[in-house]
Amino acid sequence: MNTVKTVRELRAAVARARSEGKRIALVPTMGNLHSGHTALVTKAAQRADFVVATIFVNPLQFGPNEDLATYPRTLAADQEKLLQAGCHLLFTPTVEEMYPHGMADQTIVRVPVVSEGLCGGSRPGHFDGVSTVVSKLFNMVQPDIAIFGQKDFQQLAVVSALVRDLNMPIQIIGEPTVRAADGLALSSRNGYLTEAERATAPALYRVITHIGEALHNGEQNHAQLLDDGKKALEAAGFRPDYLEIRQAVTLRPATPDDHDLVVLGAAFLGKTRLIDNLHLTKQ
């Protein structure tokens, strides 16, 4: 596996692979890789001949009071994991390489509707930063497919809308969330949890799953389900940010007549904000 730091080297390596007739997959990440990320790379290696991973902690998607400075940077361990998972090329640009003209005047890609509310409501500008950096990476690599985790359900919806609306010939693939044995979704931010918080953390998915089961069993009172869910989160020690039942594709609020649903939750444990979701089809 080669690691390159410049767009020029990246384009040259991808062009070589393409000239050999290879199908290209892209797995964008911010590093500090866990088995959720390596599952994306494994899937990419099954679906394409040449797998490009990127590690870039993108300042444009962090709010002023978020964890940009402390976000874990673990390049050597990440390189080893990527190699084992079947990655061929790793791109690790600097901020100057990604934003050579600075970020203040950077062209911003904004995806309406699906970017709004949920994490977009709690983290203003976050999805503009994501759609902008993902658009840049797509233009740099021009992959045939790109793979994202379903844990970031709203991000996956934003990226899917982005390629659809901008006619990018890239197939977006969502991979199921990888969980610890107790149900907690793997996330780089789990490393911020204290021992006691880590023990509490799986309750987020339990509450979401409980709502999903009730919907499956025909419960139609969404407001009551969400109210009970928030109370259960508080009782477990969380400070809920949001808990919502949405239409799975548009992410608009769901009505009892909708069948393709997603339950999405975000909640703080101490200073750490966790997110999770459950996608379900109601009969």
Q: What's the closest the beta carbon of residue 125 comes to ligand PAF, in angstroms?
A: 13
Please check if 131 is assigned to a binding site.
no
Q: According to the annotation, is 82 in a ligand binding site?
A: no
14 is in an annotated binding site: no
CB nearer to ligand PAF: give 88 or 126. Answer: 126
Indicate the residue among 57 and 214 with the shorter CB distance to ligand PAF: 57
Separation CA 95–CA 99 (nearest Å) = 6
Q: Is 151 annotated as a binding residue?
A: yes
Number of Cα atoms under 13 Å in the Cβ half of residue 211:
31
Whichever of 191 and 256 has its CB closer to ligand PAF, that residue is: 191
Determine whether the annotation assigns residue 160 to a binding site: no
User: What distance in Å separates the CA atoms of residue 167 and residue 223, rounded to the nearest whole number?
Assistant: 37
**CB 280, CB 261: distance < 8 Å:** yes
Question: Who contacts 157 (Cβ-Cβ below 8 Å, separation ≥6)?
Answer: 114, 249, 251
Give catalytic residue positions.
Answer: 37
Closer of 4 and 225 to ligand PAF (Cβ): 4
Q: Which residues touch 188 (CB under 8 Å, ≥6 apart)?
A: 30, 31, 32, 34, 71, 72
Q: Name the residue with the smallest CB distance to ligand PAF.
A: 28
Closer residue to ligand PAF (CB): 56 or 205: 56
Least distance in angstroms from the C-beta of 155 to ligand PAF: 6
Least distance to ligand PAF from the beta carbon of 112, Å?
A: 19
CB of 107 to ligand PAF, least distance (A): 16
Closest contact distance (angstroms) between CB of 32 and ligand PAF is: 9
* Locus of tokens 């692979």: 17
Residue 149 assigned to a binding site: yes
Q: Which residues bind ligand PAF (CB under 6 A)?
A: 28-30, 58, 61, 130, 133-134, 152, 155
Binding-site residue numbers for ATP are 30-37, 149-152, 178, 186-189
Detail the residues annotated as belonging to a binding site: 30-37, 61, 149-152, 155, 178, 186-189
Q: Which residue ranges make up the annotated binding site for (R)-pantoate?
A: 61, 155
